[in-house]
Amino acid sequence: MSRIGKNPITIAEGVTVVQEGTVITVKGKLGELSQDINASVTVTIADNVITFTRESDHKDHRSKHGLYRALIANMIEGVTKGYAKKLELRGVGYRATTQGQNLDISTGYSHNIVFDIPTEIKVVAETEKGKAPIITVSGCDKQLVGAVAARIRAERKPEPYKGKGIRYVDEYVRKKAGKTAAS
Protein backbone atom coordinates (compact mmCIF):
# COMPACT_ATOMS: atom_id res chain seq x y z
CA MET A 1 0.00 0.00 0.00
CA SER A 2 1.44 3.37 -1.00
CA ARG A 3 1.75 5.63 2.01
CA ILE A 4 3.30 8.44 -0.05
CA GLY A 5 0.45 8.41 -2.57
CA LYS A 6 -2.16 8.82 0.17
CA ASN A 7 -0.65 12.09 1.44
CA PRO A 8 -2.40 15.15 -0.02
CA ILE A 9 -0.33 18.02 -1.43
CA THR A 10 -1.15 21.57 -0.40
CA ILE A 11 -0.56 24.04 -3.20
CA ALA A 12 1.81 26.82 -2.15
CA GLU A 13 0.83 30.45 -2.52
CA GLY A 14 1.70 31.90 -5.92
CA VAL A 15 1.49 28.50 -7.64
CA THR A 16 -1.22 27.56 -10.13
CA VAL A 17 -1.95 23.92 -10.92
CA VAL A 18 -4.00 23.17 -14.04
CA GLN A 19 -5.23 19.75 -15.12
CA GLU A 20 -6.07 19.22 -18.80
CA GLY A 21 -7.00 15.59 -19.35
CA THR A 22 -4.04 13.53 -18.18
CA VAL A 23 -1.53 16.42 -18.24
CA ILE A 24 -0.90 18.46 -15.09
CA THR A 25 0.80 21.85 -15.50
CA VAL A 26 2.35 23.70 -12.55
CA LYS A 27 3.26 27.40 -12.89
CA GLY A 28 5.20 29.45 -10.36
CA LYS A 29 7.65 32.31 -10.02
CA LEU A 30 10.63 30.20 -11.22
CA GLY A 31 9.01 28.59 -14.25
CA GLU A 32 6.46 26.16 -15.62
CA LEU A 33 6.55 22.35 -15.55
CA SER A 34 4.14 19.74 -16.88
CA GLN A 35 3.72 16.01 -16.30
CA ASP A 36 1.61 13.40 -18.08
CA ILE A 37 -0.24 11.19 -15.57
CA ASN A 38 -1.07 7.51 -16.19
CA ALA A 39 -4.80 6.73 -16.51
CA SER A 40 -4.64 4.31 -13.54
CA VAL A 41 -4.12 7.27 -11.16
CA THR A 42 -6.87 9.86 -10.68
CA VAL A 43 -5.91 13.39 -9.66
CA THR A 44 -8.35 15.68 -7.84
CA ILE A 45 -7.65 19.39 -7.32
CA ALA A 46 -9.94 21.15 -4.83
CA ASP A 47 -9.44 23.98 -2.28
CA ASN A 48 -5.65 24.27 -2.87
CA VAL A 49 -5.23 20.57 -2.11
CA ILE A 50 -4.26 17.86 -4.60
CA THR A 51 -5.25 14.26 -3.84
CA PHE A 52 -4.35 11.08 -5.71
CA THR A 53 -6.36 7.86 -5.93
CA ARG A 54 -5.63 4.64 -7.80
CA GLU A 55 -8.11 2.37 -9.52
CA SER A 56 -6.99 -0.90 -7.87
CA ASP A 57 -4.43 -2.48 -5.52
CA HIS A 58 -2.47 -3.98 -8.40
CA LYS A 59 1.30 -3.73 -7.85
CA ASP A 60 1.78 -1.48 -10.90
CA HIS A 61 -1.04 0.87 -9.83
CA ARG A 62 0.33 1.11 -6.28
CA SER A 63 3.79 2.08 -7.52
CA LYS A 64 2.45 4.71 -9.93
CA HIS A 65 0.24 6.13 -7.16
CA GLY A 66 3.28 7.13 -5.07
CA LEU A 67 5.38 8.03 -8.11
CA TYR A 68 3.01 10.65 -9.50
CA ARG A 69 2.34 12.12 -6.07
CA ALA A 70 6.10 12.57 -5.55
CA LEU A 71 6.61 14.02 -9.05
CA ILE A 72 3.86 16.63 -8.61
CA ALA A 73 5.16 17.55 -5.13
CA ASN A 74 8.66 18.01 -6.59
CA MET A 75 7.23 20.16 -9.38
CA ILE A 76 5.48 22.45 -6.88
CA GLU A 77 8.64 22.76 -4.78
CA GLY A 78 10.70 23.37 -7.92
CA VAL A 79 8.64 26.31 -9.18
CA THR A 80 8.62 27.94 -5.71
CA LYS A 81 12.13 27.28 -4.28
CA GLY A 82 14.04 25.61 -7.10
CA TYR A 83 16.75 22.95 -6.90
CA ALA A 84 20.53 23.24 -6.91
CA LYS A 85 23.49 20.85 -6.95
CA LYS A 86 27.06 21.93 -6.25
CA LEU A 87 30.05 20.17 -7.78
CA GLU A 88 33.66 20.62 -6.72
CA LEU A 89 36.72 20.15 -8.96
CA ARG A 90 39.60 18.66 -6.98
CA GLY A 91 42.96 18.45 -8.69
CA VAL A 92 45.94 20.56 -9.67
CA GLY A 93 45.05 22.78 -12.63
CA TYR A 94 41.35 21.83 -12.72
CA ARG A 95 39.32 24.83 -13.88
CA ALA A 96 35.77 25.68 -14.89
CA THR A 97 34.34 28.66 -16.77
CA THR A 98 30.94 29.51 -18.20
CA GLN A 99 30.18 31.39 -21.42
CA GLY A 100 26.44 31.81 -21.86
CA GLN A 101 24.91 28.32 -21.91
CA ASN A 102 28.28 26.57 -22.29
CA LEU A 103 30.35 25.14 -19.45
CA ASP A 104 34.05 24.71 -20.21
CA ILE A 105 35.98 22.49 -17.79
CA SER A 106 39.64 21.56 -17.77
CA THR A 107 40.31 18.37 -15.80
CA GLY A 108 43.74 17.18 -16.87
CA TYR A 109 42.86 15.79 -20.30
CA SER A 110 44.67 17.00 -23.42
CA HIS A 111 41.61 19.09 -24.34
CA ASN A 112 38.93 21.06 -22.51
CA ILE A 113 35.45 19.56 -22.20
CA VAL A 114 32.59 21.84 -23.28
CA PHE A 115 29.02 21.11 -22.16
CA ASP A 116 25.94 22.55 -23.85
CA ILE A 117 23.62 23.32 -20.93
CA PRO A 118 19.82 23.19 -21.52
CA THR A 119 18.08 26.59 -21.44
CA GLU A 120 15.99 25.61 -18.36
CA ILE A 121 19.17 25.13 -16.31
CA LYS A 122 21.48 27.84 -14.93
CA VAL A 123 25.15 26.99 -14.35
CA VAL A 124 27.57 29.18 -12.39
CA ALA A 125 31.30 28.46 -12.04
CA GLU A 126 33.01 30.08 -9.05
CA THR A 127 36.78 30.14 -8.62
CA GLU A 128 38.26 31.38 -5.37
CA LYS A 129 42.00 31.61 -4.84
CA GLY A 130 43.30 28.75 -2.70
CA LYS A 131 40.07 26.73 -2.94
CA ALA A 132 38.73 24.17 -5.40
CA PRO A 133 36.50 25.58 -8.19
CA ILE A 134 32.77 25.08 -7.54
CA ILE A 135 30.12 24.56 -10.23
CA THR A 136 26.52 25.28 -9.17
CA VAL A 137 23.76 23.72 -11.31
CA SER A 138 20.30 25.15 -10.56
CA GLY A 139 16.80 25.11 -12.02
CA CYS A 140 13.18 24.27 -11.28
CA ASP A 141 13.16 20.72 -12.71
CA LYS A 142 14.66 18.34 -10.12
CA GLN A 143 15.24 15.53 -12.61
CA LEU A 144 16.99 17.76 -15.15
CA VAL A 145 19.22 19.43 -12.51
CA GLY A 146 20.32 16.00 -11.26
CA ALA A 147 20.90 14.67 -14.77
CA VAL A 148 23.07 17.65 -15.82
CA ALA A 149 25.08 17.47 -12.58
CA ALA A 150 25.60 13.71 -13.02
CA ARG A 151 26.72 14.22 -16.63
CA ILE A 152 29.30 16.79 -15.53
CA ARG A 153 30.54 14.52 -12.71
CA ALA A 154 30.82 11.54 -15.08
CA GLU A 155 33.54 13.32 -17.09
CA ARG A 156 36.08 12.81 -14.30
CA LYS A 157 34.77 10.75 -11.37
CA PRO A 158 36.78 11.06 -8.15
CA GLU A 159 39.49 8.44 -7.99
CA PRO A 160 40.08 6.61 -4.69
CA TYR A 161 43.87 7.06 -4.31
CA LYS A 162 44.37 10.83 -4.39
CA GLY A 163 40.73 11.95 -4.45
CA LYS A 164 41.18 13.93 -7.68
CA GLY A 165 38.17 14.47 -9.91
CA ILE A 166 34.72 16.08 -9.95
CA ARG A 167 32.57 15.36 -6.90
CA TYR A 168 29.45 16.72 -5.23
CA VAL A 169 30.27 19.20 -2.45
CA ASP A 170 28.84 16.97 0.30
CA GLU A 171 30.16 13.71 -1.21
CA TYR A 172 32.54 11.52 0.76
CA VAL A 173 35.16 9.65 -1.28
CA ARG A 174 36.72 6.70 0.52
CA LYS A 175 40.47 6.69 0.09
CA LYS A 176 42.39 3.49 -0.58
CA ALA A 177 45.93 2.79 0.53
CA GLY A 178 48.42 2.82 -2.33
CA LYS A 179 51.25 0.38 -2.94
CA THR A 180 53.78 0.04 -0.16
CA ALA A 181 57.53 -0.07 -0.79
CA ALA A 182 59.23 -3.48 -0.63
CA SER A 183 61.11 -3.96 2.63
Position 183 pLDDT exceeds 70: no
State the average pLDDT over residues 176-183. 76
> Taking the domain 3-80, which CATH number applies?
3.90.930.12
Q: Identify the pLDDT of residue 140.
A: 95
Instruction: Give domain limits for the chain.
Output: 3-80, 83-168
pLDDT band at 3 (very low <50, low <70, confident <90, very high): confident
Alpha helices, H only, the chain: 3-6, 59-80, 142-154
Percent of the residues in the chain that have a pLDDT greater than 70, as a whole number? 97
Q: What does the alpha-carbon distance between residue 52 and residue 9 come to, in Å, rounded to a whole number? A: 9
pLDDT at 134 over 90: yes
Q: Do 3-80 and 83-168 have matching folds?
A: yes
Residue 23's pLDDT is: 95
Average pLDDT for the chain: 92
What pLDDT, on the 0 to 100 scale, is given for residue 182? 63
Q: What is the pLDDT of residue 1?
A: 45
* Predicted local confidence at residue 17, as pLDDT: 94
> What superfamily in CATH does domain 83-168 come from?
Ribosomal protein L6 (3.90.930.12)
What confidence score (pLDDT) does residue 2 get?
A: 55
**76-94 pLDDT per residue, tens:** 999 999 999 999 999 998 9
Asked whether the predicted pLDDT for residue 112 surpasses 50, the reply is yes
pLDDT tens per residue across span 10-53: 999 999 999 999 999 999 999 999 999 999 999 999 999 999 99
**Distance between CA 147 and CA 153 in Å, rounded?**
10
